[in-house]
Structure 1
Amino acid sequence: MIGENGEQLGIMSSKDAYKLAREAELDLVKIAPTAKPPVCKIIDYGKYKYEMLRKEKEARKKQKSIEVKEIRMSPNIDDNDMNTKMNNARKFLEKGNKVKVTLRFRGREMAHMTQSKYILDDFAEKVSDIAVIDKPAKVEGRTLVLFLSAKK
């Protein structure tokens, strides 16, 4: 049992604890119900709930969510277009996001899937100074997919 000012009141029956809480016009709250014996505290429950919500909000503010940004290319991409896509990927990686690079195949391009894998390999090699490969290039339906994340 813990008093309203944080002092230890010792082990007592639940009736006595409830009586003390009523006298102080506060609530009896189980802080650690799984402990042997359970730990209870005399506090204002509304204030306690408010403090817990505030702590949760603070914890959520400090969390950083990582997004997965996608860069789409086709197998007949030109060098300048490739450089533009690489610059975009660099920006995403510098912000701490992961990058999903997809190489989309249409129609007759599907016959040359294996020859086009070098495009993703070159892409990964050119951004290797700030990125590492999370998942190597893999065929998923009509696309080749490569995942990159920022170096730590």
Structure 2
Amino acid sequence: MGIVPLERALQLAADVDLDLVEVAPMARPPVCKLMDFGKFKYESALKARESRRNQQQTVIKEMKLRPKIDPHDYETKKGHVVRFLKAGDKVKVTIMFRGREQSRPELGFRLLRRLSEEISELGFVEASPKQDGRNMIMVLAPHRATKVAAAAAVEAARPAGREPREGDVAAEAEAPVAETAASSSE
């Protein structure tokens, strides 16, 4: 429309039953638009909600180990790491050194390398092992295919667009028992 005085712009907006919205206040002259502001706010809120729904939350789980860990304890901790990676979460593996163990960081490095080799089919090393004071830290991330499979499993568990709850499994398990009891009494 070009440059129009404020009174004329307000009159034009009132004539077509729209709002005069300032879109670029710092421009010289300021830029305004004729639009239905309520509809604009509603549509922008819908877009924001849709973008939030499509976002994936990155969850970082932490597993703490010691350099002199027992083989059975190591297998248990490795099982937890495998479970986390299968669920599509990242895992921060921390080796805690105490006392004289701090002078032997290669023990922790070997342990982390062994763990990364054993879980290589599920994930990869995102951040290589590095010493941080008394701790040595490594971050493992799931492979893309593992993440996609985990997301598909979550979607399959969600009936009719709602989040699964703890009581859902128990309620489904109790229902057949109640039907069986009712049919046997007839």
Q: Same fold (TM over 0.5)?
A: yes
Give 5+ residue unaligned stretches, structure 2: 145-186
User: 1:55 is matched with which residue?
Assistant: 47
2:110 to 105, 118, 133: 118
User: 1:13 is matched with which residue?
Assistant: 4
Cα distance in 2 for residues equivalent to 1:38 and 1:95: 52
Q: CA deviation at 1:144?
A: 1.1
SS state at 2:138 partner: strand
Q: CA deviation at 1:62?
A: 1.2
| Residues 18/64 of structure 1: CA separation in 2 closer, same or farther (3 Å cut) | same
2:79 counterpart letter in structure 1: N
Give 5+ residue unaligned stretches, structure 1: 1-9
Contact 2:67 2:107 in 1 (8 A): no
Q: CA deviation at 1:31?
A: 5.5
Name the count of aligned residue pairs.
143
TM-score between both structures, scaled by the size of structure 1:
0.78
- 4+ residue runs over 6 A deviation: 32-35
| Residues 55/34 of structure 1: CA separation in 2 closer, same or farther (3 Å cut) | farther
Structure with the larger helix share: 2
SS state at 1:96 partner: coil
SS state at 2:92 partner: strand
Contact 2:95 2:137 in 1 (8 A): yes
User: 1:4 is matched with which residue?
Assistant: none
Deviation string for 1:44-99 (max 9, x for gaps)?
21232122122212211210111221110011112221122112112222222211
Q: CA deviation at 1:112?
A: 2.3
2:72 to 80, 83, 100: 80
Contact 2:67 2:101 in 1 (8 A): yes
**RMSD, matched Cα:** 2.5
Cα distance in 1 for residues equivalent to 2:106 and 2:71: 20
The answer to whether 1:136 aligns with 2:109 is no
Higher relative CO (Cα under 8 Å, sequence separation at least 6) belongs to 1
2:100 counterpart letter in structure 1: R
Q: CA deviation at 1:34?
A: 9.2
TM-score between both structures, scaled by the size of structure 2:
0.65
Q: Which moved more, 1:141-150 or 1:111-120?
A: 111-120
